[in-house]
Amino acid sequence: MKLSVFYNHIVKASEQSGLPLEAVLDKVHACGIEAVELDLQEALAGAEALKQRLDSAGIAVASMYAFCDFGNDPAPEPGYRFIDTAAYFGAGKVLVIPGFLAEAASLEDRNQALKGMASALTAVCGYAEHKGIRVTMEDFDDIRAPFSSAGELLWFLEQVPKLSITFDTGNFIYRGEDELEAFAKLKHRIIHVHCKDRLLEDSGGELKLSTAGIPLYPSPVGAGCIRIAEILHLLKAEGYDDTLAIEHFDATDQLAYMEQSAAWLRARLE
């Protein structure tokens, strides 16, 4: 397995430490991190310069992600443009966040939005296949996301046969779901993994409350309450040999978190 990290964390580490982006990229690469997870909006803000910067650092793009609004507008063209950008960066996978629903949405509106999301995703998966790119969804930690639980993701997998899963270890707790039980339900379609841990005590990072009111804070991978070591064991048993993406948005010291996370993961992969 290889390690990646969210490019956002590299940018934030540069801002927090005062180090140039290139210096942070070098430190990240020295930690054994070979690739990044890239936001579409980050990529569009100077694609050529960003690609050159990553290439110079020896850093690939493992996956790209984008926020779409297919529930309100199921036209797939924005998804096609996203796939084209991912192809430019050499990403073999993308993560689509297909849209959000208002908490007060009626059952009729909800069903219509879900139908639009599934329709657009089907078209985007077909387009991506011709580009050699695989499309995924994840368990997104937002009450407005109708794909924040394993059961909801299974519905999308049934509607969109070419869709795969990015398994985010630390998002199931948001809905009070056990991450190991979720893994058992989704393992047959997992092609990418976000290694996100959670601290239950204030770490200085931004607080996120679960739907049950449990306080969740950013954590270096391996330092929190999520059973990531067990998930790694299960991944190996399933023959998974792809990317483990380090994720800890809103951490107060992104560089230290990245270094600690990479060291913990490398120790368990040896």
| 208-209 and 215-219 beta bridge pairing | antiparallel
Computed over every residue of the chain, the mean pLDDT equals: 98
Separation of first and last alpha carbons in the chain: 10
186-240 per-position pLDDT tens digit:
999 999 999 999 999 998 899 999 999 999 999 999 999 999 999 999 999 999 9
Average pLDDT over residues 162-173: 99
* pLDDT tens digits along 21-75: 999 999 999 999 999 999 999 999 999 999 999 999 999 999 999 999 999 999 9
| Whole-prediction pTM | 0.97
Cα–Cα distances (Å) from 137 to 97, 117, 145, 150, in that order, read 7, 11, 11, 11
119 sits in which H/E element? helix 107-130
Average pLDDT value for residue range 162-167: 99
Rg (CA), the chain: 18
**What is the CATH number for 44?**
3.20.20.150
Domain count, the chain: 1
Neighbour-count burial for 203-227, b at 16+ CB within 10 Å, e otherwise? bebeebebeeeeebbbbbbbbbbbb
For residue 270, what pLDDT band results from cuts at 50, 70 and 90?
Answer: confident
Residue 99 has pLDDT above 90, yes or no: yes
Please give the distance of CA 234 from its chain centroid, rounded to a whole number: 19
Domain that holds residue 125: 2-269
Mean pLDDT (whole number) for 133-155: 98
